[in-house]
């Protein structure tokens, strides 16, 4: 861990849901100065601020003023555009010399747009795309994919190393978001496929524990089998990665495919399943809830 004298950079977080809050807690534990937090949920931000000794900023410009490095962990492109380019108050107010590390899963085009706006303000913005979940954020074992200026990455690397088990520099701004879209596209397809396999097995009267054992030792094995099968069987869909986020990320991949002139039928079908979950009011459940659409008698 970092000593309290090793790095004097002031760090702030915008977006302190379960991922952002745990990232802030991790760096706080490592001896870094977490000076400010902000969230659309003011009570959530206030609670974390009190816990880690940070300022709960109600204005985005206050966050920028209070920090040298600002992590953003927001929900979607619209939220990202608002915090960087919203009228009246945004993070690029008097932002010269500041570094923004944007960790949400967003469209590559918006990451490029934000980086250009930051550069115009005399600041820097890079991607820190995360291929991990809530517990990894708390433990400092994220898999982080970096896109943007390599020199900015190298400047912030000691901090990022405290948050991750693996750092991977992908390339120019937008490239990390492209890779992250592919990661989540394949993960979501695997999740939907597992839900169908288990749903069919259940309809055939097969023992689902046995099916999982067979899957684990054959070509049906996957990381999703390890993380989601039990939840699908038990109908335990506490959100680690919400279905509405799965839909969003599959949509990013869908857009990239269209731009590349490709048709991806499996991704399109998977997105349609997650869209249906949202339509029936289950979008804030975990992505494993896609099984609610594939088991007889559930949906």
- The yes-or-no verdict on residue 4 having pLDDT over 70 is no
- 178-293: CATH topology is 1.10.1040
Residue 89 is predicted with a pLDDT of 97
pLDDT tens, position by position, 18-32: 999 999 999 999 999
Residue 65 is predicted with a pLDDT of 98
- CA–CA dist 257, 201 (Å, integer): 32
Q: What is the pTM of this model?
A: 0.93
- CA–CA dist 223, 277 (Å, integer): 22
Average pLDDT, the chain: 96
Banded model confidence at residue 8, pLDDT cuts 50, 70, 90: confident
Task: Give the mean pLDDT of 164-190.
Answer: 97
Residue 132 is predicted with a pLDDT of 85
| CATH 3.60.110.10 for domain 10-173 | no
End-to-end CA distance of the chain: 48
The H-or-E segment that residue 276 falls in is helix 265-279
pLDDT tens, position by position, 196-218: 999 999 999 999 999 999 999 99
Q: Where are the domains of the chain?
A: 10-173, 178-293
In this structure, are strands 142-147 and 124-130 parallel, antiparallel, or unpaired?
Answer: antiparallel
Banded model confidence at residue 41, pLDDT cuts 50, 70, 90: very high
Active-site residue set? 180
- The yes-or-no verdict on residue 247 having pLDDT over 90 is yes
Residue 1 is predicted with a pLDDT of 45
Phi-psi region of 69 (alpha: psi -120 to 50; beta: other; left: phi over 0): beta
pLDDT tens, position by position, 98-150: 999 999 999 999 999 999 999 999 999 999 999 888 999 999 999 999 999 99
- CA–CA dist 288, 293 (Å, integer): 10
pLDDT tens, position by position, 58-80: 999 999 999 999 999 999 999 99
Residue 6 is predicted with a pLDDT of 47
- Strand stretches in the chain, DSSP E: 10-14, 33-38, 55-56, 69-72, 99-102, 124-130, 142-147, 164-171
Q: Which of 68, 6, 74, 73 is nearest to 36 (CA)?
A: 68
- The yes-or-no verdict on residue 7 having pLDDT over 70 is no
- The yes-or-no verdict on residue 238 having pLDDT over 50 is yes
């Amino acid at each position: 861990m970092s000593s309290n004298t090793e790095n004097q950079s002031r760090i702030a977080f915008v977006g302190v849901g379960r991922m952002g809050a745990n990232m802030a807690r991790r760096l706080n534990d490592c001896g870094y100065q977490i000076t400010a937090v902000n969230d659309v949920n003011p009570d959530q931000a206030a609670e974390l601020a009190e816990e880690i000794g940070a300022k709960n900023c109600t204005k985005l410009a206050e966050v920028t003023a209070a920090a040298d490095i600002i992590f953003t962990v927001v929900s979607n492109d619209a939220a990202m555009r608002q915090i960087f380019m919203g009228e009246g108050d945004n993070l690029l107010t008097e932002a010269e010399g500041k570094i923004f590390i944007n960790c949400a899963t967003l469209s590559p085009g918006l990451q490029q747009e934000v980086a250009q706006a930051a550069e115009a303000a005399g600041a820097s913005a890079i991607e820190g795309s995360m291929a991990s979940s809530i517990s990894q954020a708390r433990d400092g074992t994220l898999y982080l994919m970096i896109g943007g200026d390599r020199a900015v990455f190298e400047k912030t690397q000691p901090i990022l190393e405290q948050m991750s088990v693996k750092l991977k520099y992908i390339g120019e701004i937008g490239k990390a978001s492209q890779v992250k879209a592919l990661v989540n596209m394949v993960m979501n397809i695997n999740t939907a496929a597992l839900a169908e396999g288990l749903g069919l097995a259940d309809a055939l009267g097969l023992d689902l524990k046995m099916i999982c054992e067979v899957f684990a030792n054959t070509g049906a094995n996957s990381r999703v089998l390890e993380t989601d099968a039990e939840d699908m069987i038990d109908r335990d869909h506490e959100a680690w990665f919400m279905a509405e986020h799965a839909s969003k990320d599959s949509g990013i991949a869908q857009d990239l495919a269209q731009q590349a002139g490709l048709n991806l039928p499996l991704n399109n079908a998977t997105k349609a399943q997650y869209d249906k979950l949202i339509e029936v009011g289950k979008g804030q459940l975990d992505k494993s809830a896609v099984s609610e659409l594939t088991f007889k008698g559930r949906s």
